[in-house]
Structure 1
Amino acid sequence: MIVHTLIYRFPDDVAEEQRAEFFDAMRQLVLKTGLIKGFDHKPHLWLPADDRARGMTAASIAQFTCDDLDSLQKFSELPEVYDFVTDWKRRLRFEAAYANHEALTPSSDLPS
């Protein structure tokens, strides 16, 4: 399984309702393609230290899963995916970073 993790930051004037509409539309798009197996998103849980953080601090995280890299590539090359990203980026002016990776399995084991 391949996981596509997206990290979003939105301008301060983007209302929570607009963000919810964006993620609802994203869920509908990714799942209707048949190439994506699961989708979820959550808000970043803000800490006081985040006010002083360097670099991009997220507002929201989204993840979706697919069977393999080939499926993810097919998905990413769909015209409707390009149109979705282009349209919503114009409307919400968000910044995004992403990573494609295998599912993580956090462990408390320290390396020897």
Structure 2
Amino acid sequence: MDIVHDKEKSKFRVEVDGVTAYVAYTLADGALDIRHTIVPEEIGGRGIASALVKATYDYALENGYKPVATCSYAVVWLQRHPEYKGTTGADFGGEGSCAL
């Protein structure tokens, strides 16, 4: 999977079978907050979301940012990967939600 980091748009993205999936994040106060994880249904179920979130949080750690999750998928991912020492964002809206 060829994951591309688009710093200008604050996204990590990948194209699979001509369809683009991405993670959108914000940087503030020393934290990298994943706000949205978008994987279209036609390419779902292939581990794409997990790979995108991992790439994003690996970037965060490599650059001294604290992993934060506002997107519900990223919240669950951080719970499953305590080695990242991430936290849930203050404006997390609950299961199935992403930031506005």
Task: Classify the TM-score, shorter chain.
Answer: 0.3 to 0.5
* Alignment TM-score, normalising by the size of structure 1: 0.32
Q: Which structure is richer in relative contact order (CA contacts within 8 A, separation 6 or more)? A: 1
* Alignment TM-score, normalising by the size of structure 2: 0.34
**Larger proportion of helix:** 1
